[in-house]
Amino acid sequence: MSELSSRDQRVLKAIVIDYIRSGEPVGSRTVSKKYMTNLSSATIRNVMADLEDLGYVYQPHTSAGRVPTEKGLRFYLESLIEPKKLGKKEKEAIRKAYIDIKGSVEEILKKTSHLLSSLCSQAAVVLWPRLSASKFRHIEFIRLYAHHVLTILVAESGIVHHRLVVSDEDFSQDDLDKFSRYLNDILKNLTLEEVKYKILEELKEEKAEFDRIYDRAIDIVKKALQAQHEETEVYIEGQSKLLDYPEFSDIDRLKTILRAFEDKSRLLKLLDMTLESGEGVQVILGPESRVQELQELSIVSSPYRKKDVVLGVIGVIGPLRMDYPKIIPIVDYTARVLSEIMENPDG
């Protein structure tokens, strides 16, 4: 049972909605005039005081209105929000955005980031499919010059990963071709995690066949796969849209946030929280995140998948007062469309 009465909840909802629209503390007169005309300002002030005592709102300074706290926003998101329904035209616009993109998963994901940023007027982020969960399709080794080998790993999702590996030993292209042909035969339909174990197992059993190149080649394969496993692409677009919000007018404050965007490891921590749940749209309020520099922001995100396998995450990052009723259904529907496309990215 909620500790808030029906009236408390209606006042809290009015505070959150008005704060999202204005970015300013919300006073009792505003709530009375715009949202609850049947209640006097005095009555609403008393309710606001109770909400403050319970930790749902706070007063930035004496005589100011109230601002929702993290607790207040979380209650709103879980119990009071009324997401807008996407109309037919909005759904068609999202689907139409992908029509001309064929055959390149990278382009599809970049388009998704651009689309979300444009539709939501916020920064948008896309976590590319993780190879550890993706099926192996093809690996190729190309000798660029002495001791330097370009590895090309293609996942079933269509994502292509390149990695330059520096080897202690030099390789001929013939040796690399022979080794890649063998790997492509034995590694079909395995995830990257399974690939690592399979290589060690199979190559030890077949060492006699590859005795001439085994000792040198196994090292480069391990380096290549380890590098690919650790690398996860995060694509972000629209960071400058934060400039539209007065709460980020302080340049030093904004620089700290933008630096956090540039650090992929910080964004990964945030997106991992969505991956861990694996289901539906998630809203992570800044103070709930694992990233100190992003405490003043929130992310609305959703995983996208291929069949039953979660590939990655798409999301929108903005201020705590994002327009959640508008943004949540956009992120949800876009993730569904993207999942459909990932079933057949070449189609």
Answer with the residue of higher pLDDT: 32 or 216.
Answer: 32
Helix ranges (H only) for 26-131 are 28-34, 41-53, 70-75, 88-96, 105-120
| Fold of the CATH domain 136-230 | Enolase-like; domain 1 (3.30.390)
Please report, for residues 4, 17, 59, 299, the alpha-carbon distance to residue 45 in angstroms, rounded to integers and kept in the order given: 15, 17, 12, 31
Count of C-beta atoms within a 10 Å radius of residue 132:
15
Residue 327 confidence (pLDDT): 96
Are 65 and 44 in contact by the 8 Å Cβ rule? The answer is no
Is the per-residue pLDDT at 222 higher than 70?
no
pLDDT of residue 219: 65
Closest Cα partner for 313 from 236, 224, 217, 203? 236
- Residue 173: pLDDT above 50? yes
198 vs 70, residue with greater confidence: 70
How many other C-beta atoms can be found within 10 angstroms of the C-beta atom of residue 274?
A: 25
Say how far apart CA 19 and CA 95 lie, in whole Å: 32
> Any idea which fold 6-80 has?
Arc Repressor Mutant, subunit A (1.10.10)
> In 3-state terms, what secondary structure has residue 229?
helix
Q: Which among 272, 277, 282 has a CA at the least distance from the CA of 127?
A: 272
Strands (E), 106-186: 123-127, 136-145, 148-155, 160-166
The Cβ of residue 278 has, within 10 Å, a number of other Cβ atoms equal to 11
Among the residue ranges 87-96, 227-236, 336-345, the one predicted with the least confidence is 227-236
Dihedral sign (CA 28, 29, 32, 34): negative
Question: Under 8 Å CB-to-CB from 233, ≥6 apart: which residues?
Answer: 127, 128
Q: What is the pLDDT of residue 5?
A: 94
Distance CA 119, CA 151 (A): 37
Mean pLDDT of the chain: 83
Mean pLDDT of the 273-278 span: 71
Name the CATH superfamily, with its identifier, for domain 88-129+232-343: GAF domain (3.30.450.40)
- Tens of pLDDT, residue by residue over 110-152, are 899 999 999 999 999 998 776 665 677 788 889 998 888 888 8
pLDDT at 180: 83
Rg (CA), the chain: 26
Give the tokens for residue 178: 């022979």
What integer is the mean pLDDT of 279-297?
84
**Other Cβ atoms within 10 Å of 200 Cβ, number:** 13
Using alpha carbons, list the distances in angstroms from residue 184 to 112, 153, 175: 31, 11, 14
Q: Is it the case that residue 66 has pLDDT exceeding 90?
A: yes
Structure confidence at residue 256 (pLDDT): 83
Q: Who has greater pLDDT, 87 or 198?
A: 87
Among 188-192, 233-237, 270-274, the least confident range = 188-192
- The residue length of the chain stands at 347
Distance CA 142, CA 163 (A): 11
Q: List Cβ neighbours of 95 (8 Å cut-off, separation of 6 or more).
A: 337
What pLDDT sits at residue 50? 96
Domain definitions of the chain by residue range: 6-80, 88-129+232-343, 136-230
| Nearest of 297, 300, 299 to residue 256 by alpha carbon | 297
pLDDT tens-digit map of 70-114: 999 999 999 999 989 999 999 999 999 988 776 678 888 889 999
If pLDDT is split at 50, 70 and 90, which confidence band does 229 have? very low
Mean pLDDT over 227-234 rounds to 58
Residue 320 has which token pair? 């705590």
Is the Cβ–Cβ distance between 55 and 37 less than 8 Å?
no
- pLDDT greater at residue 214 or residue 58: 58
Q: From 150, 159, 107, select the one nearest 132 (Cα to Cα).
A: 159
Q: Model pTM?
A: 0.78
